Amino acid sequence: MKIKFSEKIISSKCLKDINDIIKSGWLTHGKYTTLFEEKFRKFTNSKYSLTVSSCTAGLHLSCLAAGFSKGDEVIVPAMTHTATSHAIEYTGAKAIFCDVDSKTGNLTIENLKKKISKKTKGIIIVHMNGKPCDLDGIKNFCNKKKIKIIEDCAHALGTRYKKKHVGNFGLSGSFSFYPTKQITTGEGGMIITNNKTFFNNIKKLKAFGIDKEIGERKKPGEYDVKLLGYNYRMTDFQSCLGLSQLKYYKKFLSKRQKIAKRYHQNFKGNQQIQQLDFSKENSYFIYPILIKNRDKLVKFLKRVNIGFSIHYPKIIPQMSYYKNKYKLKKKSYKNAIDYAKKNISLPVYPTLNNKQVDYISKKILNFISNEK
């Protein structure tokens, strides 16, 4: 049996719509972008939403609109994708890496407190693998210290904390639609926010800093530019692709959770596999397990044709760019390093059936018993 790590379901209706958009010549600024933003806003129950060319772009715009700049420090987990810390560094602010919880890979208050200084202006939190961070604790602490919160929700479409969708707890939440994510637009992302001023800022920053939208211009090209903005737009055929998947996402989210529950049941009681408690708040971007001899398991899964991934095998402060720039000590990131050594991501896409989930589980359990 060969099992992929990730699979997308694109309807024939969506493919036809994309074909029509491309043929129409109206490839960007179209109705699908507006519709996708509208449906996403409803799905996440936020006041404003904005498509962007990637989650990285969303995080960058969020850091700019939050006012981070040279001389500021912004805290970020050591266990994340490099996009999270890059977004801070693009603004001239300094990324301050913080250790994480060894079981979840999420940032914790205890570790956060160790990194606060007079220069701390903000924090970017990451809901690793779809598990929400301790948002009450983080929010309470950051509000007291006047620290701005930005949420990296790249893994977290469908993740809730106390019934509220993540991305609504700070200034903004940025989502990713990279092909392995819960829904995809090829490359692409979405920012959500509940702050009108912030929204107006990111909207201008996303499109060159131009002060008038196409519909507001008396003649083509009649606008002013008051800001050094970017071109971080999403095309209309990408929006069409995202919109069609979002329509089915509620159903797919519950399928992802059923698969996660099945893995949880299958691995329960095994002392060699560390897994989190099952939770309906988790959107299960992937199913993470922690295992001591992870690299041997990687070789084994390749041999038996089972798709997997690792989120992530190396902590960001150890990447050459940051290592050379900040010369950070490994001992400050003990938990993140341990997590990087042990984590492995199992597939949870909605077309995976019970037989496949049981097959993956059985192969892993057999591998473990042979390793003893």
Shortest reach from residue 185's CB to ligand PLP, in Å? 9
Q: Is 155 in the site for ligand PLP (CB under 6 A)?
A: yes
Burial label, 280 (beta-carbon count in 10 A; 0-12, 13-18, 19+): exposed
Phi, psi torsion values for 192, nearest 5 degrees: -115, 150
Residue nearer to ligand PLP on the CB measure, 149 or 357: 149
DSSP line for 135-171: HHHHHHHHHHHT-EEEEE-TT-TT-EETTEETTSSSS
Q: Is 239 in the site for ligand PLP (CB under 6 A)?
A: no
Site string for ligand PLP, 31-70 (x = CB under 6 A): -----------------------xxx--------------
Q: Is 257 in the site for ligand PLP (CB under 6 A)?
A: no
Please identify which residue in 5, 178, 208, 248 interacts with ligand PLP, judged by CB under 6 A.
Answer: 178
95, amino acid identity: A
Q: Where are the beta strands (DSSP E) in 166-307?
A: 172-176, 189-193, 287-290
Q: What is the DSSP letter of 70?
A: T
Q: Is 17 in the site for ligand PLP (CB under 6 A)?
A: no
Shortest reach from residue 311's CB to ligand PLP, in Å? 7
Please identify which residue in 76, 88, 125, 126 interacts with ligand PLP, judged by CB under 6 A.
Answer: 126
Q: Is 168 in the site for ligand PLP (CB under 6 A)?
A: no
Cα distance between residue 159 and residue 44, in whole Å: 9
Cis peptide, bond prior to residue 248, ω within 30 of zero: no
Beta strand 148-152 with 120-126 is parallel
Residue nearer to ligand PLP on the CB measure, 190 or 364: 190
Binding site for ligand PLP (CB under 6 A): 54-56, 80-81, 83-84, 126, 152, 154-155, 176, 178, 189
